[in-house]
Structure 1
Amino acid sequence: MSDPQIALKRWFHEKTAPHGAKKALADATGYTPTQISRMRNLETDDPKKRQEIPLDMIEKAARFFDSLPPGFEGMTQWLDHHVDSEKTVPVVGYVGAGAEAHFYALSDGELDRVPAPENAGPETVAVEIRGESLGPLFARWLVHYDEIRSPITSDLINQLCVVGLPDDRVLVKKVRNSKSKTPGLYDLLSNAEDPIFDVPIAWAAKVKSMVPR
């Protein structure tokens, strides 16, 4: 393995080392945790246990961790989701223990305003992660979303979403079709908590981006 590849692997290994980071990166990028484990493996040349890091994953990981890897220092367009300091979006709630977003009855519906990601639209909002329900790495990160689907649509299955339930809980979870195959019910998955099985979903929105605050 060449020196640049070793430096890249070490960067990737360090970024995905905290508890929950590998699973969260998998949810955000579409790669499997097994593939990510192979990409971060520094100890073997066995092709069954090691995988080179493809360019699209390097870019996605740089955006996700808001950090440029060795050899890619010039790719500043990858950072901060091209945050536009002139444009902001509202923070509408906090994601706390149990991944429940608690919304407060403010007159303008906002708790704060934060810089908007490049892909922000007129409906984009943010929630702030409080606690470690998505893993300790993501405490106080911002989760951006829009395009609320009610009812949920099939393209959100197996995606990390902000999910509203009929009992008014709002969760950040990966949505999966119910194992029981009961029509209208879904399973909700996360890193640090047990799955929630067989629940109806009132609305859902795919997570657009997650950035440190």
Structure 2
Amino acid sequence: MTFHRVKIAPSILSCDFARLGAEIEAVTQAGADMIHIDVMDGHFVPNLTLGPDIIKAIRPYSSLPFDVHLMVSPADLLIDRFIEVGADILTIHPEANPHMHRTLQKIRYHRKKAGIALNPATPLDVLDYILEDVDLILVMTVNPGFGGQTFIPSQLEKIRAVREIIGMRSIELAVDGGISAETGAQARAAGATVLVAGTAIFKNPDYAQGIKSLRS
């Protein structure tokens, strides 16, 4: 296996919400590269999580990029609001946004990074004709909606296929779902450059050690 330095994005879906600001400070100091924020609407996915006001409240607790994963439908109506409160990367799902090209361009118009999320059953042809407008591709290795799920091994082939599609383009390849030291190593070997992890970090008493284990 050939490994490269991978970026680690702690998913705050698994943190202690009673200490949200302190948790973000802690993983920032522990060596995280970005903060992953899952936004769910109870419609596109069967769960309801954070909204713009929460992100605005936690923005002062870290200088790291805020990677906002919009599991909402439609996302277009909320993009301006999430940018206003401090999102640096906005990742959307093609199933939830019928005019993907327009949505990605809108994000980039605001000088933010645009991402596209691929669910386990999402075909790769959704990437046709939009690669030049994408900064990040997120391969979901669980079905979106809840933390703590088990990594789906069949998605390793998708990660490898996306790596081939990206080629020499400066597009990050992120993986989200069931990431541990073992599955993270498999995702890295398949070509991932960003690992999104919740349980593997926030359920470890030592956040720095949890992050280090994902890197090594």
With structure 2 as the length reference, what TM-score do the two structures score? 0.30
More helix by share: 2
More strand by share: 1
Higher relative contact order (CA 8 A, sep 6+): 2
With structure 1 as the length reference, what TM-score do the two structures score? 0.30
